[in-house]
Structure 1
Amino acid sequence: MGISHKNKRPHFQKIQREIETRIPNKKAAQLAAAKVEQEISNSTFIPNNSATFKQVFDNWWASHSKTLKPSTQYSLESKFNKHILPRFAHLKIQDISKEYCQKMIDEIAEQIDSVNDVKIQANQVFKYAVRMDYIAKNPMEHVIIPKNEADFLVEEPKRNFWTKQEIKNFFNLARITLDHQDYVMFHLLIYTGMRKGELLSLEWEDIDFDECTIFISKTLFFKDGKEIIQKVKTYQARTIHIDTKTIQILKKWRIQQRETTPEGKRYPSIKNVLTREDKRPLRLAYPNDKFDSFIKTHNLHPITIHGLRHTHASILFEAGATVKEVQARLGHRDIKTTMDIYTHVTRTVKERTADLFHSYIDLS
C-alpha cells in the first residue's frame, strides 16, 4: 500500500535519515533517497518492513517474466498460483521463517512429486527479496526436500521406447486402422525424432523435397485455447535429413490434404502439415490421446509420445550412429541428455556387444 499524500514529506525525511545511516557515501545515499521520494510521490513505494510476499513477487515477476517464453510464463504462473501464493502471498516477507518454509515444502511434497521445482521457484522470489533489501537472509535457502518411501526402492526403470520389431508391429496395425493424417503424424515422430510441439507447428515451407530435409525452428504452445507458435531455443533449431520413403509419404499427404473437405470447402494453400478440419494446427494433447488409445486397443508395450523420441534414438544407436550424431538430430542441449538415452538402449544393442566380443575371442 502506498503512502498518503499528507504524510509523504515527514515519512520521506525519516526514510532519508535511515538511508544516510545505511549508505555512508553521500552521493549514493542522495540517489537512493531521490528514488524513494519519486516512488512515494507516485504512490508506488512499499516500505521494506511491511512488504508482503505477494508485493515482492509482483515486483520480481514484472521484470523476470520479460525474460521468459510465453509457454514458460504460463507454466510458472500456474505453479505460483497453485502451490506458492496461496501459502505465502498474505504474509509479510520479513515474518516468513525457515520453519514455515520447511513446513510448507513438506506439505506440498505430500501432494506432488515435483516439489523440488516448487522450492526452486519460491527460492527465486526470496533471493530477489534479499537483493532488494526486503530481508537480510533467505529463509528458503536451506529447506530440505523430503523423500518418500518410493525414493528408497530400487526398481528396474520402465522401458519407454520400442524395439525394431515393436515398431514393425505398430506400423502393420497403423496402416489398416488409422486415417492417413494420423499415420503421417506417427511416421514423422518415429522417423525424425521430433518433439511433439515441433511436429504440430511444422509447415510445408519447412520441408525441402529436393534436398530431403526438414528445418525445425519453432514449436507449438496452447494458452487459453489459443495456439501460439514460438521459436525453439537456439540449440534446438536444426535441419534434419529424411529418407526418400518419408518424402513420398509427405508428397502423397500434401495432395490428399488439399482435396475437398466434407463441407465442400477447398484449401489450395494449407500452411501446416498436420491440421484440424478447419486447417488450424492440431491441439497439443491430440497425439497423446490418439497414441494412448491405440496402444490400449491393440495391447502394445506402453510408452509415451516422448518415448517415440527415445525409440528414434535407440534405433539410431542400434544402426551405428554416434552419440554426437544423435545429439544433433534430436536437438539436445548437452550430450548428457543423449547419454541418458544411450544407457537405456534396446537389448539388441547390448546383445550385439556381447556377440562382438565372443566372435573376436572365439578360440574353438
Structure 2
Amino acid sequence: MLDMATYEKYTNSRGEFWSVRGYLGIEEATGKQKTLNKRGFKTKKEAQDYYKRCLLEFDNGMIHVLSKNMKFSQVYHEWLEIYQNNVQESTLSKVQDAFRLHILPAFGNCLIHKITPQLIQTELNDWHKQFKGYRKTYSYFKRVMKFAYSRGYIKELVIDKVITPKKKLKYECDKKDNYQFYNVEELRQLMKILEAQESRKWHACIRTLAYTGLRRGEILALTWNDINFTNKTLTVDKAVGQCNGNDLYIKEPKNDNSYRTISVDDITLNVLRRWRAEQSQWLLKFGFKPLGKNQLVFSNTKTNGLMNLTAIYTAFKRICELNDFRFIKIHGLRHTHCSLLFEAGVPMKDVMQRLGHGDVKTTMNIYTHVTEQSERKSAQLFARYANF
C-alpha cells in the first residue's frame, strides 16, 4: 500500500508526539477529495498504522460511517488528544475535571449514536438543579458531540433539540453580588486598616490590587523588574496558573489585551518600596538569597517560590474579620478599581486598557452597575432636598 502521508514530530507541555496528514481519495457521493489530519500519536509507527487503517476503511466505504460500537468516552478521548494541544494547562485541568465529575459518569458508557435529546435534556436539567457551573459543563459536552458529528460517528446533532435551562435558582448570586466592590469611603477605611497592620506584605499586596486592578494571578507573578519606580509604571506580562489541584506555574496572561503597562500612584509606589526593604531583610533572616530584579514581589514563606492562589483570600478575609470590616472577594478589588475609575470620569477605552479587558461586555457590565447605583443615589438625594 502506497504511503502518501506526511508525518511530523512535535512537542508540547505533555511531551513529544507525532501527527499525520495524508490523502485518502475521492469520495464518490460528493466527488470531493478526502484528506486526513490527526495529532496525538506517541510514536511514528502509531501514526502510520492509523493512516493505513483509514485508507482501508475509505476504500471499503467505511470511513465517516456511523460507528455502531463507539462509546461516548472513546470519542471524548479522541477529542481530548486534539483539544489538549490548544489550551493552557490550567484550562485543560478544569475541563478534565468537568468530564470526570459530571459528563463521563452520565454519558461515558453510552454508545455515541444512542444518546438521545431526551437523555441529554434529563441530565442537563439535573445539572441545572445541582450546581452553578452547569452551562460551562454542558458547553464541554457539546464540543464532543459536535466533534462526533464532524467525524461521522453520529448522523445528526441531537444537541440542537435540547433546551438549556435559563431559570434563575436560589444558588445563583444576585446580579449586584456578581460585581461586589467598595465605594470610595469604604476603600479609604480599608487603607487605614491596612496601614495599621503589622504586615507590610499584605498592605502592599491588597493596596496594589485595589489601586491597579490587577488580577490575582497577575499580582502573584509580579517580579520587581516589572515595577519601574522611576517612570511610575507596572508591567503585566505573565500570570500564575494552577493545575492538578495544587501545582503552580507561570503562564501567559489571560488574553492578548492583558499584556499591558499601567501607571501607578505615588502612595502605592511608596508602600511597595517599604515592602521591598522589609522583604530583603526577611529573605536574609530565613536563609533565602534575594533574587534581585527577578525576585517575586509576593512569594511564599517556605520556599520563596510562587504563593498559593488562595493565600491572598485567606489573609484578606482574616484582616476584614479582625477589624469588623465588610469582606468582598479578591476579584471585587478589581471591580472596585474599575467602578471608581468610572466615577472619576475615566473614558471607557482607557478603563479597558488599564484592566486588560478583552471584551467590552465585561467593562460595560460593571459600568452599568455603577451608573444604576449612581442613579439611585441621585434620586435619594433629590427626595431629601425636595422633601415636601
Smaller-chain TM-score bracket = 0.7 to 0.9
Q: 1:178 to 1:54 in 2, by over 3 A?
A: farther
- From 70, 74, 79, the equivalent of 2:93 is 74
CA distance in 2, matches of 1:351, 1:157: 13
Matches within 5 A, 1:337-356: 337-345=362-370, 349-350=374-375
SS of the residue 1:110 aligns to: helix
| Aligned twin of 1:171 | 191
Matches within 5 A, 1:1-364: 23-24=28-29, 28=33, 38-39=52-53, 48-148=67-167, 150=169, 157-158=176-177, 160-224=180-244, 225-232=246-253, 233-261=255-283, 264-270=286-292, 271-277=295-301, 278-345=303-370, 349-350=374-375
Paired-residue identity, % = 28
Q: 1:26 to 1:189 in 2, by over 3 A?
A: closer
| Aligned twin of 1:7 | none
**Greater shift after overlay, 251-260 or 181-190?**
251-260
| Aligned twin of 2:18 | none
- Please state which structure has a larger fraction of its residues in helix: 1
Alpha-carbon shift at residue 68 of structure 1 (Å): 0.7
Query: How many residue pairs align between the two structures?
Result: 339
Q: 1:231 to 1:91 in 2, by over 3 A?
A: same
Alpha-carbon shift at residue 141 of structure 1 (Å): 2.4
Q: Unpaired segments of 5 or more residues in structure 2?
A: 1-23, 38-47, 57-62, 383-388
CA distance in 2, matches of 1:29, 1:150: 48
SS of the residue 1:220 aligns to: strand
Alpha-carbon shift at residue 145 of structure 1 (Å): 2.3
Q: 1:260 to 1:41 in 2, by over 3 A?
A: same
User: Cα RMSD between the aligned structures?
Assistant: 3.5
CA distance in 2, matches of 1:209, 1:202: 14
| Bigger CA radius of gyration | 1
Structure-1-length-normalised TM-score: 0.82
Q: Unpaired segments of 5 or more residues in structure 1?
A: 1-18, 358-364
CA distance in 2, matches of 1:26, 1:317: 59
- Please state which structure has a larger fraction of its residues in strand: 2
Determine if contact 2:284/2:290 at 8 Å carries over to the other structure.
no
